[in-house]
Structure 1
Amino acid sequence: MSHTERGRRVTLVDAPAERPPASWAGGGILAPLFAWRYPAAMNRLTVDGPGRYRALVSSLTGYAGLREDDLCDSGLWVEAAGEECRRALDWARDWGQRCEPRALAAAWPEAADRDGVWFPEVGNIRNPRLLKALRARLADQGVRTVRDRAVALDPMGRGATVVLAGGERLSAPSVLVSAGAWSSSLLSPLGVSVPLFPAKGEMLLYRLAPGRVPTIVLTENGYLIPRADGAVLAGSTLKEGDDSTHPTEEGRRKLEAMAASILPALADQAPEHHWAGVRPGCGRDWPYLGEVPGTRGVFAAVGHHRNGLVSAPASAEFLVQLMNGETPFLDPADYSLVASPS
């Protein structure tokens, strides 16, 4: 539920685009990469991600041209052998996920063969299209968008005043900070320490016949993600601490080699696009969500790193519950922010 469905007036402060949004740095897989390697705190935010997105896409279809098939029910094949395969199957059993051992060639004879596991209920979403639809829906619900950059927060007895680069000051009884890798500049003056950093990722797009790549394929070196119209994403590089958005020749070569290692036919096909984006990196494997220590009514949602998209619906529900004084469906202690040492 959005705040507007609870009768709240909402203003979104969003800086003018100086770089591609973080959504361009990810492919939209509706599961963490190798989910069994993550702690329970992250899995609680992501394990029902596919179902949450099916409901979200159903409610947003038609906004900004979003189509139901922009959520591709492709399934997810993950490279895993031996002990890694056993870990994956044990995790799936414990978290109630459908999963079975399956060699890649059994699902896709054209691909290079290797051992793995198959998650038939995990698909992918075209995240840039979803973002456009969300913006259109918010505007339709009366949410005000201010195109400026927040430079400071002045806490009040309840809530805070948001100081904008253009000089405007916006005051509200509830304020949520969610500025990606750059959130620390707003939180540090409030006495909060969060280990955030930019993390650059590069991706390629190939144009193939629809269905040529039948499933998401995840290996230790990267992944292929099919869209319904035949577009196939190859990703992604990861360079922590880099906030540049220029694609590199090194990144292109690495991704082309990875893609051809999965589908040998791609060695003879040039990608159609190559781009880079910046993720909100974090020093731990799950995000910080909750009220800022020492304030009343100032909240933060930061540090989602590579799992921002799949964990976004659950993170939003959790924060809305906290911001409205409701009983949250998760334990706030698991996600709380940390006050800086005095």
Structure 2
Amino acid sequence: MADVLIVGGGIVGLLSALELADRGREVVLVDAPSLHPPASWAGGGILSPLYHWRYPEPMNRLTLDGPRRYRALVRRLAGPALAAADLNESGLWVEAAGEEAERGLAWAQDHGQRCQVAPLSAHLPAGRAGEGLWFPDVGNIRNPRMLKGLRDGLAALGVTRVEARVTEVTPTARGGEVILDNGERLAAPTVLISAGAWSASLLAPLGVSLPLFPAKGEMLLYRLPPGQVRATILTEQGYLIPRSDGAVLAGSTLTQGDASTSPTAPARRRLETMAVNILPMLADCQPARHWAGVRPGAARDWPWLGPVPGTDGIFAAVGHHRNGLVSAPASAELLAQLMCGETPFVDPADYSLESSSPSS
């Protein structure tokens, strides 16, 4: 029997498996990527929340050192699936002026983040004019390759991967039992529910009701010569994300309550309009790809991480919404510390599921 069962193979589940394997735990990860592709597979990979200073401190604690954590992960996992070039450290330019810029500068100073006022033309010479804030230490990760690198790394550590859909998680005297769609049952003294937008249906029978919902997002990819977009560009309408090979991602739409993964024509038109507004030369380019993913939406701006009330050994990691990638390394560390009886690096009370329990 495994020490830990992890339900969900997105970035939080994979990094939690890594943290636990590093602590000597025997881990089995259960995932059904063909049915529910991870949100972290489809996202843009910006290593910062959008407009960071608009978020509460519980999210800041999980995201501030995201770039540092990903640098360490890339160094550790570099190989056929993940290369150093898949971490683009070109920085982040955020459109902001007046009071908004003052808020951003004050937030950066308070949180020890390098930031300065800079024109858009410094990072996007062919684009429109604009003033904003420049965060030189915030890059982006090529998230599909990070996931592949993690899967390879976990296999090398002996983590077992089971491709199946989990239909139910039931508590046992210690831990829980996971029921698969093929009728198979797996049990372990520790279970982590980290199934993204589909976690709510697994938590409800355990008496946990959280304001979770699927949130569909669509993105485009353009093929350009390297260097046309020199940094990640964030505006109120959307963003452009450069890859090291010249590819540029344009994103993203957000449709709450939509769990479909088929791209739509209206979303494509909105994204094309946004992208051309930032970089006019894209008017002469056809997107090379258009895709959709489903984020684990939530009605608050930071996730729930910790034990499921009324159980002994069942944990949940849910509600990361648009910030799953950047907050995943810290989320996984906190979860592993709680599971293994270690002193958490942050106060876990802010992330507790206790308030969702009917008995609380």
Do both share a fold (TM > 0.5)?
yes
TM-score category of the 2 structures, normalised to the smaller one: over 0.9
- 8 Å CA contact 1:201–1:278 kept in 2: the answer is yes
Equivalent residue for 1:54? 71
Aligned with 2:282: secondary structure? helix
Aligned with 1:54: secondary structure? helix
Q: What are the residue-to-residue correspondences of 1:58-207 with 2, within 5 Å?
A: 58-62=75-79, 64-207=80-223
Equivalent residue for 1:9? 26
The yes-or-no answer on 1:264 pairing with 2:280 is yes
Aligned with 1:293: secondary structure? coil
Q: Deviations over 1:187-215 (max 9, x none)?
A: 11111111111100110000001111100
Q: How far 1:283 moved relative to its partner?
A: 1.0
The one-letter code sitting in structure 1 at the alignment partner of 2:55 is Y
- 8 Å CA contact 1:158–1:296 kept in 2: the answer is yes
**More moved, 22-31 vs 129-138:** 22-31
Distance in 1, matches of 2:352 and 2:189, equals: 20
Distance in 1, matches of 2:247 and 2:188, equals: 43
Distance in 2, matches of 1:178 and 1:56, equals: 20
The one-letter code sitting in structure 1 at the alignment partner of 2:129 is D
Equivalent residue for 1:222? 238
Q: Deviations over 1:218-262 (max 9, x none)?
A: 000000000000000000000000011111111111101101111
The one-letter code sitting in structure 2 at the alignment partner of 1:188 is A
Q: 1:65 to 1:339 in 2, by over 3 A?
A: closer
- 8 Å CA contact 2:123–2:229 kept in 1: the answer is no
Distance in 1, matches of 2:290 and 2:231, equals: 21
Q: What are the residue-to-residue correspondences of 1:34-45 with 2, within 5 Å?
A: 34-45=51-62
Q: How far 1:25 moved relative to its partner?
A: 3.3
The yes-or-no answer on 1:246 pairing with 2:262 is yes
Distance in 2, matches of 1:87 and 1:124, equals: 23
Aligned with 1:65: secondary structure? coil
How high is the TM-score relative to the length of structure 1? 0.98
- 8 Å CA contact 1:70–1:227 kept in 2: the answer is yes
Q: How far 1:23 moved relative to its partner?
A: 2.0
- 8 Å CA contact 1:204–1:275 kept in 2: the answer is yes
Q: How far 1:19 moved relative to its partner?
A: 4.2
Distance in 1, matches of 2:158 and 2:141, equals: 26
The one-letter code sitting in structure 1 at the alignment partner of 2:136 is P
Equivalent residue for 1:29? 46
The one-letter code sitting in structure 1 at the alignment partner of 2:132 is G
- 8 Å CA contact 1:24–1:276 kept in 2: the answer is no
The yes-or-no answer on 1:303 pairing with 2:319 is yes
Q: What are the residue-to-residue correspondences of 1:331-342 with 2, within 5 Å?
A: 331-337=347-353, 338-341=355-358
Distance in 2, matches of 1:339 and 1:85, equals: 36
Q: Deviations over 1:81-121 (max 9, x none)?
A: 00000000000001100000011013332210111000000
The one-letter code sitting in structure 1 at the alignment partner of 2:123 is A
**What 5-or-longer segments of structure 1 have no aligned partner?**
none
The one-letter code sitting in structure 2 at the alignment partner of 1:301 is A
Distance in 2, matches of 1:19 and 1:302, equals: 15
Aligned with 1:151: secondary structure? strand
**More moved, 159-168 vs 13-22:** 13-22
Q: How far 1:4 moved relative to its partner?
A: 1.5
Identity of aligned residues (%): 67
Distance in 2, matches of 1:120 and 1:339, equals: 39
Q: Deviations over 1:161-209 (max 9, x none)?
A: 1111111111111110001111111111111111111100110000001
**Count of paired positions:** 341
Q: 1:211 aligns with which of 212, 227, 233?
A: 227
Distance in 2, matches of 1:38 and 1:79, equals: 17
Distance in 1, matches of 2:313 and 2:41, equals: 31
* RMSD (CA atoms): 1.1
The one-letter code sitting in structure 2 at the alignment partner of 1:11 is V
- 8 Å CA contact 2:305–2:316 kept in 1: the answer is yes
- 8 Å CA contact 2:42–2:144 kept in 1: the answer is no
- 8 Å CA contact 1:102–1:118 kept in 2: the answer is yes
- Structure 1 runs of 4+ with >4 Å offset: none
How high is the TM-score relative to the length of structure 2? 0.93
Distance in 2, matches of 1:70 and 1:109, equals: 24
Distance in 2, matches of 1:81 and 1:97, equals: 18
